[in-house]
Amino acid sequence: MTQHIIKLGEGYGDVYELITLINSMPDRVQHLLVLHTTKDDQDKISFAAIMKPTSQAHFLPIYVCLEGMPKPQEGQSHARYEAFNESAKQIGINLIEFDVPPSTKYHDESLFFQQLIAVFRLNHLLPPI
């Protein structure tokens, strides 16, 4: 089975695209994640959706909006975080949150994605290949 991270982008609109994917295919969503990091001395979050594998090609996509959102501070509202959390509630899935290093710590973004996939496997969020 091929497990592949698909980067949607870092912008605010990309989060709503991810939410639209989640809402249009709720039966395919397996896990929803919020990844916390510090990039350029700023706390950032990434949103990710691990989908169930396709039946024919055995392809398991992981959609990610990478490090584009500021981390919500205690007591403050964050519209995109709340929208992502609301989508999770609507389909009956709890958000899973991780602290991860920033992608800039890796020589290449693909190495960062391989590391994320390894972390997801170790936490039993992805099946072994």
| Lowest mean pLDDT, pick from 43-57, 66-80, 88-102 | 66-80
CATH number for the domain whose boundaries are 2-122:
3.40.1530
Residue 119 vs residues 39, 83, 88: alpha-carbon distances, Å: 19, 25, 21
The model's confidence at residue 77, banded by pLDDT at 50, 70 and 90, is: low
CB-CB neighbours of 13 under 10 Å? 12
Examine the pLDDT at 12 and tell me if it is beyond 60.
yes
pTM of the model as a whole: 0.92
